[in-house]
Chain A
Amino acid sequence: MSLIPSDCRECPPGSVEPEGVDRRDFVKKMAAACAAGVPVVLGVVGVPGVNGQTVDGERYDPTMHYYGMGVDPAKCIGCGRCVNACKTENDVPRTEGAFNTWVERYVIRNDGEVIVDSPDGGMEGFPELADEAGIRKSFFVPKLCNHCANPPCVQVCPVGATFITQDGVVLVDDDYCIGCRYCIQACPYGARWFKEEKRVAAKCTFCYHRIVKGLVPACVEACPTQARIFGEVEGRATPLARFIRFNEIDVLKPALNTRPKVYYANLDGEVR
């Protein structure tokens, strides 16, 4: 009888160290090569992601993962690097009404009035506030698809062109979507948009093409303040699990029972 639980995500039964390549050795060699001024085309030899390998060099197994994202509004400085990176990484047109992720600014005045803005999705930052005296508080909130565990968009898709993957990511099948836009109507978060170029619904993919290669989503890579934390929802020893354990966590519009997997730390009640 084995003492190792068979469903342990961190240590899949039968997993072995990749043979042949010692990665640390490789890094040292590369560094030496670079220091010696030898140009090396890294793409052919094994930089994670660039040629389709994962960090471990193993084939990606979606059943071993379950992804989510933590967002800490208190760390967001509204610089818009995430929005920019996302547009670049995912070829999102830089037009109005096309955002996989965006940043909102909340300004709560002393009389309780709430003013929200998101010029260009916060892509180029935010203008300074005109009247600071009457303000109770102000903060930024990064938004993106919540990759709900109970996603209304997937529920309404008539043909099965949008779906949850085994690793918990909500995706759109560009070659199968009929473009009815019911999913855009059904998303309570305004996270979906219509890609004119392909005439299909589009959305955040958690940079699926990156995460299967062991990289983090582009917005996380580009965030200078770690306001976004990407990782495994399950298990304890992951950055996201730690983030969830050590913060007061809220999700957006919990009453709709969409069960989002984007977790906000210490979220103000005015955010929706």
Chain B
Amino acid sequence: MQGFIYPNEFELHWSLLIVLYPYLTGLVAGAFILASLERVFNVKEVQPTYRLALLTALAFLIVAPLPLQAHLGHPERSYEIFLTPNSRSAMAMFGFVYAWYLAVVLLLEVWFDYRRDLVGWYQSAKGPKRWFYYALTLGATDLSEKSLKFDDSAGRWITVLGIPSAFLLHGYVGFIFGSVKANPWWSSVLMPVVFLLSAIVSGIALVLVLYMVTTMARGKPVNMPCLDRLAQFLFYAIVIDLSLEILDFIHRLYESEESIEILSQLIEGRLFLSLIVLQLLLGTLVPFVVLGLTTHSFRPKPLIQVPEELRRMLFLLSAILVQIGIFSMRFNVVIGGQLFSKSLRGLTVYKVEFLGIEGLASTIFLLLLPLFILWLLVKILPPWGEEPWNQKPSEVAAIQG
């Protein structure tokens, strides 16, 4: 502790779990927006990641409310948010935004996209598996051309609807912080936009990592045009995200309001490692330079021609650094916003505990849980499109050799 804090500010009220929540939600929104690139904006190169991105979004969305739930004083009362939502509360909208996004956007899109496969698996499988897939088709087993066409166009429309929904989902998470006028570190109109952009950054980076890891694990060749395109979009997203954050920073510095002194102390002291070193240098500037030099971002050819093997490693490294950076960004917002007193006269300290519900251990568990769920989803709904009915006749011929 340093200076004066209000006596009730002795403890931080939102800890690592609440850092995790915007991080996970951001990955959902980011992964979905990446998926929409192929579907709506016709970026054909990223097609290999489309289904993986969808499943990733679903896996992380399932886990996203868990840290919130675990953090509540009364988790068993959380249903009240559906019973008597306070229409003036940003947080009350969570239940509805979440339900909308899960049920109407993600599940529906996955269902329409997979229905042809579900029917295929149902028809080819035996025993309980057969009935499991039949249940997933909801009995809609019609594979007529008209039906398949409907799947395709319904999926496209849901994606179109999904883009604003993804914006809503994560912009709203930013609004939860940005609308707290009591807290000068949070209160900013840019907060939802910054959250959204950083979500896109983290989502693309995550799918990039997952795509490389799963492809290598299956012993298949990495689709390099796809990877180049992903890296390029990652670079663009970083540029916009960085610009917005710098704008926010300059704006605060220039307006130099009452809070500027304590916020400067905060950045120079408590947040130096997580903000300057991890978020800005390692998490943003290094990937920015690496990707800027090695992707096709500025001209038909990259600034530096790098052999494929090295390029893959550089992309992977950048994507991992981006993850560290974005997690640090969530940490700096959530924890940073509670490290200074609202009297603007002092700083407090945050001690990370290891065990306990809000500790490091459960945070790591909740970080790994979506990966486990993704693994399950991939087992149930293989996203690789290798089933016989997905092969074009020429490819079938090629495989049969």
Contacts and interface: CB of A to CB of B under 8 A. Distances in A.
Q: Do A and B bind each other?
A: yes
Given A181-B13, A185-B182, A190 B74 contact: no
Nearest to B71: A180
Contacts of A99: 7-8
Given A176-B77, A177-B73, A189-B6, A184 B13 contact: yes
Contacts of B4: 104, 115-118
A97 B10 contact: yes
B9 A97 contact: yes
A194 B181 contact: no
B8 A200 contact: no
A190 B341 CA distance: 8
A152 B90 contact: no
A191 interface: yes
Given A97-B11, A99-B8, A194 B73 contact: yes
Interface in A21-40: none
A104 B85 CA distance: 37
Contact of A96 (B10, B68, B94): B10
Interface in B74-109: 74-75, 77-78, 80-81, 83-86, 88-92, 94
A156 interface: yes
Contact of A97 (B7, B68, B83): B7
Interface residues of B, number: 43
A267 interface: no
Main secondary structure of the interface of A (DSSP, over half): loop
Given A117-B4, A178-B74, A190-B7, A158 B181 contact: no
B80 to A, nearest CB: 4
A190 B88 contact: no
Given A159-B83, A188-B342, A179 B74 contact: yes
Contacts of A208: none
A158 B94 contact: yes
B390 interface: no
B73 A178 contact: yes
Interface in B8-42: 8-11, 13-14
Interface string B275-311: 0000000000000000000000000000000000000
A103 to B, nearest CB: 10
B73 A182 contact: no
A193 B73 CA distance: 13
A157 B87 CA distance: 10
A107 B8 CA distance: 21
A200 B345 contact: no
Contacts of A272: 343-344
Contacts of B14: 181, 185
Contacts of A181: 13-14, 73
Contact of A158 (B9, B75, B91, B344): B91
Nearest to A116: B4
Interface in B55-78: 68, 71-75, 77-78
B80 A178 contact: yes
A102 interface: yes
Nearest to A163: B86
A160 interface: yes
B47 interface: no
Contacts of A178: 72-75, 77-78, 80-81
B141 interface: no
Contacts of B343: 116, 190, 272
Contacts of B83: 159
A164 interface: no
A159 B72 CA distance: 13
Given A114-B345, A159-B85, A159-B86, A191 B74 contact: no
A98 interface: yes
B181 A188 contact: yes
A157 B74 CA distance: 14
A194 B13 contact: yes
Which 4 pairs of residues, A with B, have the shortest CB-CB distance?
A179-B73, A190-B6, A97-B10, A199-B73
Given A158-B92, A159-B83, 18 more contacts: A98-B8, A115-B4, A116-B3, A116-B345, A118-B4, A152-B182, A156-B180, A159-B77, A159-B80, A160-B86, A177-B74, A178-B73, A178-B74, A185-B13, A185-B14, A185-B337, A190-B7, A190-B8
